[in-house]
Amino acid sequence: MQKPGYSTSKRALWLSSIMAWVVILILAVGAALNGQAVEFGTIAVPSMVMLIVSMLGIHRGFGSLDYRAAGKALAGTETTGETR
């Protein structure tokens, strides 16, 4: 079984992750310049980081399910003698 290629979703994941960190950085600098760094740091940063991490976890979790399903489908065609 060949490992599936997820180049598009990998690129989208990296791009959205980079953009999310850029947004966090811009907002953090803005909050620091306006004297609201403490309020921003206690609420916004943890929730935004949690969103980034959960997006990565969802991508990895469903990617492994896709890989498992492809393996089962391939195993089913090998036992029945079907060709794809």
Within a domain: 60: yes
Residue 2 lies in a domain: no
Q: What is the pTM of this model?
A: 0.55
| Number of structural domains the chain divides into | 1
Any idea what DSSP says for residue 81? T
> Residue 45's domain spans which residues?
7-80
CA 55 – CA 66 distance, rounded (Å):
16
Q: How confident is the model at residue 82 (pLDDT cuts 50, 70, 90)?
A: low
> Cα(42)–Cα(39) distance, rounded to whole angstroms?
5
Question: Is 29 domain-assigned?
Answer: yes
For residues 21 and 70, the model is more confident at 21
Q: Please, which pLDDT band fits residue 76 given cuts at 50, 70 and 90?
A: confident
User: What is the DSSP annotation of 15-72?
Assistant: HHHHHHHHHHHHHHHHHHHTT-HHHHHHHHHHHHHHHHHHHHHHHHHHHHHHHHHHHH
